[in-house]
Amino acid sequence: MNNHNISVMHWRAIPRHHPSAFLLAAQLLSLVLYALFDGSSSGRAVLGAFGVLVLALVVWVINRSPTIRWIAWVIAVPAFALSLLSVMIIDQNLLIWSSLLEATLYFYAAGSLIAYMMKDYRVTTDELFAAGATFTLLAWGFAYAYLVCQTWVPGSFVGGNHPGQPLTFLEFLSLSFTNLSATGLGDILPINPPGRVLVMLEQFAGVAYIAVVVSRLIGMTIVRYEGKGTS
């Protein structure tokens, strides 16, 4: 077998061995797309189409973890359909159900990856990618939850670049990242009980994720390299 064939086989094996890396890359790429296209009419279609692709990657990652796969498909199929419809049709009820299903799928995927990372005492490269992907899944899930809260209970949040108007998904995503990472709420504040409860739940989730999952992975990685050094 020549070097070219070995190289091709190596690159083909990457998606199989590191699916979490592809999901993490897609999530980070979507942030770039939001910066480029958010707020424009053509950008809505681009972001919607890419969002469906990310949902497909989410299901792919779930299917590779030790969770109940049919639950993922029960959530994902209507989420795919409603996401596509929400790109073509602007409707409040459609937005609520689409966002609710996507939030559910992201949270389920985050739980799936956490179970995958916690299943043994061995740290793999894909589990390190999964740690980053799980953080983005939680951030996206809470951003969709905030969007549902705002649509269901108007005026739940204030701030942003246009006071008195509904906040955009990108603004909620920014709130979610700052809140989940415990860096502060920034220029957006929850002002009623549903919004405040969601913010507190995300704060608890962020602290628990760092304290339990990330610290465990770091500890096992240190132990692994110390073991290699003494062997």
Q: What is the pLDDT of residue 139?
A: 94
Q: Could you report the per-residue pLDDT of 12-25, keeping only the tens digit for each? A: 444 556 788 888 88
Q: What is the DSSP letter of 229?
A: H
Q: What is the pLDDT of residue 205?
A: 94
Q: What is the pLDDT of residue 117?
A: 84
Positions in the chain whose pLDDT score sits under 50: 1-14
How many whole angstroms separate alpha carbon 85 and alpha carbon 102?
13
Q: What is the pLDDT of residue 7?
A: 42
Q: Where are the alpha helices (DSSP H) in the chain?
A: 3-17, 19-37, 41-63, 69-88, 92-118, 125-152, 169-180, 193-208, 215-230
User: 134, 114, 116: which is closest to 21 by C-alpha?
Assistant: 134
Q: What is the pLDDT of residue 6?
A: 40
Instruction: Confirm if 133 and 216 have CB atoms less than 8 A apart.
Output: no
Number of domains in the chain: 1
Q: What is the pLDDT of residue 142?
A: 96
User: 35 is written with which tokens?
Assistant: 């910066």
Could you tell me which residues come within 8 angstroms of residue 220 by beta carbon, excluding any fewer than 6 positions away? Answer: 121, 122, 123
Q: What is the pLDDT of residue 9?
A: 40
For the stretch 185-220, what's the b/e string if a residue is b when 16 or more beta carbons lie within 10 angstroms of its beta carbon?
eeebebeeebbeebbeebeebbeebeeebeeebeeb
Q: Which domain holds residue 170?
A: 3-230
